Amino acid sequence: MRCLDRRSTYNAEESENRIIHGDNLEALKALLPEYEGRVQCIYIDPPYNTGNESWVYNDNVKDPRIVRWLGEVVGKEGEDFCRHDKWLCMMYPRLQLLKRLLASDGVILISIDENEHRYLEMVLEELFGAGNKIETFVWKKSYGGGAKSKHIVNVHEYILCFAKNKQSIGLLELPPNEKLLKYYKFKDDKFAYRGPYRLQPLATNSMDMRPNLRYPITHNGEEVWPEKQWQWSRDRAIAAQENDELVFKEKQGIWTVSYKQYLKTIDGKERKAKAYSIIEDIYTQQGTNEIKVILGDGKAFSFPKPSRLVEYLLNLVTDKNSIILDSFAGSGTTAHAVLNLNKKDGGNRKFILIEMMDYAETITAERVRRVIDGYGEDTKAVPGTGGDFSYYTLGERIFDHEDNLNESIGIAKIRDYVARTEQLPGAEQGEHPAWLGEKDRMGYYFHYQPDQATFLNMDFLATLTRKNEAYLIYADVCLLDSDFMHRHCIRFKKIPRDISRF
């Protein structure tokens, strides 16, 4: 495992938005201590393995561990790696880490095309469980073209969507989009708390005949009957009529009844819409245009996703405080979408992006800076979203190959790593040199000396002046008996290092 070295921060001294330059396998491991089980939404757009990409198999697919894994899982055929095996070898360990980072009610969305779609789906079923599949979105990415296609013009790709635990996620709904909002054009005296309304027919031609839904509604002394039946029960319709929420219209002697559907529910929440499994009206071309306006060069990055596509997905599965992770960040579209959404709804979502290529700084981070500050000129000028981020690179290894602490990284990084593993925000400086911080009334201590073994004993306890309900103490050796520890709510953790050299 490596540490993350903060290189710079944009627009703030500290930022919870992160861009990490490095291989995502290492970066995801480095995020685990702090983010395990906390990420609400993962959106990734990995290389599709089209055969034309210049992506690197930067894991050695002949690594003995991978060969062993293939031997166990795939059997003899695993000795002959095909193109798909190599891609899966790259994806599998990353997906395992992504799953650990996902919150129990989190959702992962993965863009993919037909090259790896079926293989990816099988791996996701194995890792997440088939029962946790939410949907395969079909994204209609272009409106046509394809003059060069010999057989069929392919205009779509997929977005696989799995939950960590489908039982834990509530309704997935979208806020009303601009198209829908246009229908809400009427106002009445409830406007202040229920917003504008649209008219919806009360009658239905639904096939199942329910006699209790067929009754007359009296209007101006006249009985109005549905052609087939109403959608609502008699009580509900009468209540709506008494509340001035039914509208009657007459055309050539025939009455129709509509009900007012307000934008906001009675408790003031905006009406949401269900999403469909086919995503239309958002095209690849929009992503290319976007990058052209932002970076001044449409060729700076090939086929970035349109930010609206990612926004659409985030709208569905995040709330205003979610953490969103994209470990194949490319041009940084996911950060763009997060910043846009926060600007629109006043949210405080956080993004974590990982990109291994050198353009992490010149394209990924640069795009995010421009989105924050505003970009484009004249008619194409887009105001800034505001926001900030920190830029990290992968630092030294925290453990050596025998899983002992790499002490050469220095005490500050070691303390910080241990604190984050304990879900503390970072190592605090206290009156006591071993103090790390406090959580749930437990005091955390890291009793460490670089050149000698440390002991959890009565002498060490005597140095603690701060009173806590419970204590978690790291040291090399524990000399207290378990009864005493139990009575005084003390837990011991051994520092992972070899002390035989002292």
Ligand X SMILES: C[S@@+](CC[C@H](N)C(=O)[O-])C[C@H]1O[C@@H](n2cnc3c(N)ncnc32)[C@H](O)[C@@H]1O
Residues making contact with ligand X (CB under 6 A) = 23-24, 45-47, 55, 58, 301, 304-305, 328, 330-331, 333, 354-357
- The least distance separating ligand X from the CB of residue 172, rounded to whole angstroms, comes to 22
Report CA torsion sign: 33, 36, 40, 43: positive
Considering beta carbons, is residue 58 or 168 the nearer one to ligand X?
58
- The least distance separating ligand X from the CB of residue 371, rounded to whole angstroms, comes to 13
**428 by DSSP, 3-state: which?**
coil
DSSP string covering 273-288: EEPPSEE-S--HHHHH
Report the alpha-carbon distance of residue 373 to residue 343 in Å, rounded: 12
- The least distance separating ligand X from the CB of residue 331, rounded to whole angstroms, comes to 3
Residue 207: burial class (beta carbons within 10 Å; 0-12, 13-18, 19+): exposed
Q: In whole angstroms, how far apart are CA 311 and each of 295, 318, 319, 338?
A: 20, 10, 12, 7
Taking residue 476's Cβ as centre, other Cβ atoms within 10 Å add up to 19
Considering beta carbons, is residue 124 or 213 the nearer one to ligand X?
124
**Residue nearest ligand X, CB atom distance:** 330
Considering beta carbons, is residue 30 or 257 the nearer one to ligand X?
30
Find, among 479, 465, 471, the residue nearest to 422 by Cα: 471
- The least distance separating ligand X from the CB of residue 58, rounded to whole angstroms, comes to 6
Considering beta carbons, is residue 259 or 301 the nearer one to ligand X?
301
Considering beta carbons, is residue 55 or 191 the nearer one to ligand X?
55
Find, among 176, 102, 173, 489, the residue nearest to 324 by Cα: 102
- The least distance separating ligand X from the CB of residue 495, rounded to whole angstroms, comes to 31
What are 477's strand-pairing partners?
A: 455
Start-end of H helices in 170-322: 178-181, 191-194, 234-242, 284-295, 307-317
- The least distance separating ligand X from the CB of residue 321, rounded to whole angstroms, comes to 23
Q: In whole angstroms, how far apart are CA 387 and each of 13, 54, 326, 365?
A: 12, 33, 18, 13
Considering beta carbons, is residue 165 or 286 the nearer one to ligand X?
286
Residue 270 is given by DSSP the state B
Considering beta carbons, is residue 45 or 121 the nearer one to ligand X?
45
Report the alpha-carbon distance of residue 439 to residue 434 in Å, rounded: 15
Element at 160 (helix H, strand E): strand 156-163
Considering beta carbons, is residue 257 or 337 the nearer one to ligand X?
337
- The least distance separating ligand X from the CB of residue 190, rounded to whole angstroms, comes to 43
Find, among 247, 196, 191, 199, the residue nearest to 219 by Cα: 247
Find, among 107, 75, 73, the residue nearest to 92 by Cα: 73
Report the alpha-carbon distance of residue 466 to residue 432 in Å, rounded: 9
- The least distance separating ligand X from the CB of residue 114, rounded to whole angstroms, comes to 15
- The least distance separating ligand X from the CB of residue 342, rounded to whole angstroms, comes to 18
Considering beta carbons, is residue 164 or 367 the nearer one to ligand X?
367
Report CA torsion sign: 430, 433, 437, 442: negative
Considering beta carbons, is residue 48 or 471 the nearer one to ligand X?
48
